Chains A and B, each alone.
Chain A
Amino acid sequence: MTLRLFIPVDAGALAVGAEEVATAIRAAAARYNVAVDIVRTGSRGLYWLEPMVEVQTPAGRVAYGPVAPSDAEGLLRAIRADSAHALRRGLTEDLPWLKRQTRLTFARCGVVDPRSLEDYRAHDGCKGLQRAFSLGPDATVEEVVQSGLRGRGGAGFPTGIKWRTVAQTPPQQKYIVCNADEGDSGTFADRMIMEGDPFVLIEGMAIAGIAVGATKGYVYIRSEYPHAAATMEAAIAAARRGGLLGNRIANSSFAFDMEVRVGAGAYVCGEETSLLDSLEGKRGLVRAKPPLPAHKGLFGRPTVINNVLSFASVPIIMNKGGGFYRDFGMGKSRGTMPIQLAGNIKHGGLFETAFGITLGELVDDVGGGTRSGRPVRAVQVGGPLGAYFPRALFDTPFDYEAFAARDGLIGHGGIVVFDDTVDMAKQARFAMEFCAIESCGKCTPCRVGSTRGVEVIDRIIRDENRAANTALLEDLCHTLKFGSLCALGGFTPYPVMSALTHFPEDFGAPPRLLAAE
């Protein structure tokens, strides 16, 4: 009987040896004359268990991990004998870390072959598109509005409202642009979708095209993600062959096609207007708004620009209905959020759950604390422009408004954990330094303020006129926050000010009283 195995081709799994494991298992199988069928999938997102090998059994898939190439022979023996093995984790679906998640956007990631349109269709793929055909453009837009989906890139603007604005512009060439310039440290959900379930992104963009009357789409992928770009290219080619893209998509009267564009290492191009300039072949300078991209976007045409996760959430919304999606979550944060646990963390990976889970649950319970075994001192939520939160704020629920109320942001859902060896003055300095490196240079607060910020923090660290320089830093952050053209300059004060506010002792001031919140 042929053994059916699943081994990820996700970049994260490859980086810890998944390819070598697949090779070793093939070689061992050949030696023992065992027939194996190895399906290469995306990652399930349990990165501490990568490389993870799954085996198809009558009861479901059984997981083994983390597997080293030297484990191949013993693993194969244990699988064939159905006997105990040190790396055997039980049925994948029953792993507590997966079981407590609500996987809507990531339902197929790690399960299907990302290059097979047939596999996608066999796992509920294309059903959202079919419903969009039957509902028609206007009702499709309303369904997305009703779902309460907000932009998952970080800004949290209601996706349906954006679509409605584009739909209401007069008929002309319109564009669908996917922002896959996932530059925030601590985030990798876009990468995982593109490498593990690329067709869901294609379907989501095609639905957007139908909804607003756009026939052309672009996926702008950062150059640091070559595997994601290659998988997207392959999936787009397969989608064209399978009739999912083209002049009459899925035998409907709608036309939609798309292509991949690769960025060139500029963080600021994750900002939507800068990304549009970059797509046009210009320097990635931020544009002043208005006009909104919905009115004058790519090449001056009405453009829907959304994050990967926003588009990837649309097929299930269309398939199961806006109400189904809206029933998850809390307050104005509806649905689920693919949260990414990263940095110095024991159980890091992709954790999709309804909004409302607290930061403490995520870091301590789900993440298991630090990998170093030392106490958690700070977590940065929302990428390099997100605030550092101390343990005193771990009761904050994961929700756009709750984080904003505590001078933070959830951004793209990344959480980076630091242990007690972290120097928060150094992290604050890095935030300013990063802004200086990546500033597009268009507005003065960001271009000049970031460099001045590094200098002021250096003076504070060196204990030169500490009180005066701290006041100056606060003033500078105020200018950056309210005077910058986009989120790069505007949000850099979050990590800086949160470090200064919550960890003053690292800046030479007396420690803040505990439980001051």
Chain B
Amino acid sequence: MLQGSRNQSHALWDKDIALARIRECLDREGPLLPILHAIQEEFGYIDVAAEPLIAEALNITRAEVHGVVTFYHDFRREPAGRHTLKLCRAEACQAAGGDPLALRAEARLGVPMGSTAPDGSVTLQAVYCLGLCAIAPSAMLDGRLIGRLDEGRLDALLAETQQ
């Protein structure tokens, strides 16, 4: 699986592991995005300490690396909660009743979209389209897709994040 699916199995930041993951990608054309994905897959976020390591490996400035990390919505600057719940907030899901579900999730967790619950259990995140627009509204919990979301299913997902 790709990033976001193994929130509970990330390594703690480690320079040597990071360097190893960077080296794996160096023979590819345009290696920066693959490197950042590898780092995030390993640690769950891109530690600021990774930036100079990547810059040196690719012979580019640290500012360039920083610019790329902060440009893309996927790359986190700090670890996420133990679970990540993504709710689709795009038009097809809006049309199918996604707005009240998003409000419900925010109210139940007590945090706005884009933040982590105070107990660190779950990060609530808006996503703009999971490609499940014919079975909207949709969500993704730790890499698992959920379609035809309703209040009951949402509550079950939220309960899962509290275990």
Q: Which positions in A face B, CB cutoff 8 Å?
A: 11-12, 14-16, 47-48, 50, 182-188, 191, 223-227, 229-230, 259, 261-267, 278-284, 299, 340-345, 348-350, 371, 380, 384, 414, 416-419, 422, 427, 430, 434, 437-438, 440
For B32, B72, B131, the residue with the greatest tally of chain A CB atoms inside 10 Å of its CB is B131
CB-based contact B30/A187 at 8 Å: no
Number of A-B contacts (CB under 8 A): 157
Q: Distance in Å from the Cβ of A352 to the closest Cβ of chain B?
A: 14
Bound-state Cα–Cα, A16 to B58, Å? 43
Chain B residue contacts of A371, Cβ below 8 A: 96
CB-based contact B30/A281 at 8 Å: yes
Bound-state Cα–Cα, A66 to B68, Å? 44
CB-based contact B136/A342 at 8 Å: yes
- In the complex, besides A280-B30, A348-B135, A434-B90, 17 extra interface pairs with C-beta distance below 8 angstroms are A12-B134, A15-B135, A183-B128, A185-B92, A185-B128, A185-B129, A186-B91, A223-B74, A263-B33, A264-B74, A265-B127, A282-B64, A283-B72, A345-B134, A416-B92, A417-B95, A430-B91
CB-based contact B91/A281 at 8 Å: no
B116 within 8 A of A: no
Bound-state Cα–Cα, A446 to B2, Å? 32
Query: Contacting chain A: which of B77-85, B143-151, B154-162?
Result: B143-151
For A12, A187, A350, the residue with the greatest tally of chain B CB atoms inside 10 Å of its CB is A12
Given contacts A15-B135, A343-B95, A416-B95, contact A282 B32 (CB under 8 A): yes
Q: Which positions in B face A, CB cutoff 8 Å?
A: 1-3, 5, 28-34, 36-37, 58, 64, 67-68, 71-75, 90-97, 127-136, 138, 143, 145-148
Chain A residue contacts of B146, Cβ below 8 A: 15
Chain A residue contacts of B135, Cβ below 8 A: 12, 15-16, 47, 50, 348
CB-based contact B30/A279 at 8 Å: yes
Chain A residue contacts of B30, Cβ below 8 A: 261, 279-281, 299
Chain B residue contacts of A299, Cβ below 8 A: 29-30
Candidates B68, B131, B148; contact of A282 at CB < 8 Å: B68
Leading 8 A-B pairs by shortest Cβ distance: A281-B32, A348-B134, A185-B90, A342-B133, A343-B95, A264-B72, A15-B147, A265-B73
Candidates B67, B72, B131; contact of A182 at CB < 8 Å: B131
Given contacts A278-B33, A430-B91, contact A224 B134 (CB under 8 A): no
Given contacts A261-B34, A264-B72, A281-B31, contact A427 B134 (CB under 8 A): no
Q: Distance in Å from the Cβ of B11 to the closest Cβ of chain A?
A: 20
Bound-state Cα–Cα, A400 to B28, Å? 39
Chain A residue contacts of B92, Cβ below 8 A: 185-186, 342-343, 414, 416
Bound-state Cα–Cα, A107 to B131, Å? 20
Bound-state Cα–Cα, A252 to B143, Å? 41
Bound-state Cα–Cα, A436 to B48, Å? 26
Given contacts A224-B127, A299-B29, A427-B91, contact A16 B36 (CB under 8 A): no
Chain B residue contacts of A264, Cβ below 8 A: 33, 36-37, 72-75
CB-based contact A224/B91 at 8 Å: no
Candidates A11, A261, A341; contact of B131 at CB < 8 Å: A11
Candidates B33, B96, B127; contact of A343 at CB < 8 Å: B96
Chain A residue contacts of B148, Cβ below 8 A: 15-16
Chain B residue contacts of A416, Cβ below 8 A: 91-92, 95, 133
Bound-state Cα–Cα, A367 to B114, Å? 34
Bound-state Cα–Cα, A14 to B135, Å? 11
Given contacts A226-B1, A342-B92, A430-B91, contact A12 B131 (CB under 8 A): yes
Given contacts A264-B33, A281-B30, A299-B29, contact A434 B128 (CB under 8 A): yes
List 21 contacting pairs A-B, 8 Å CB cutoff, sorted by A.
A11-B132, A12-B135, A15-B145, A184-B129, A187-B129, A187-B133, A224-B131, A259-B28, A261-B30, A267-B128, A279-B30, A279-B33, A280-B30, A282-B32, A299-B29, A299-B30, A342-B95, A348-B135, A380-B91, A384-B128, A414-B92
Chain B residue contacts of A184, Cβ below 8 A: 129
Given contacts A226-B2, A343-B92, contact A15 B132 (CB under 8 A): yes
For A14, A182, A299, the residue with the greatest tally of chain B CB atoms inside 10 Å of its CB is A14
Candidates A50, A224, A281, A284; contact of B129 at CB < 8 Å: A224
Chain B residue contacts of A267, Cβ below 8 A: 128
Bound-state Cα–Cα, A224 to B73, Å? 11
CB-based contact B2/A344 at 8 Å: no
Q: Distance in Å from the Cβ of A98 to the closest Cβ of chain B?
A: 15
CB-based contact A188/B134 at 8 Å: yes
Residue of A nearest to B133 (CB): A342
Bound-state Cα–Cα, A414 to B138, Å? 17
Bound-state Cα–Cα, A284 to B73, Å? 11
Candidates A182, A265, A344, A430; contact of B96 at CB < 8 Å: A344
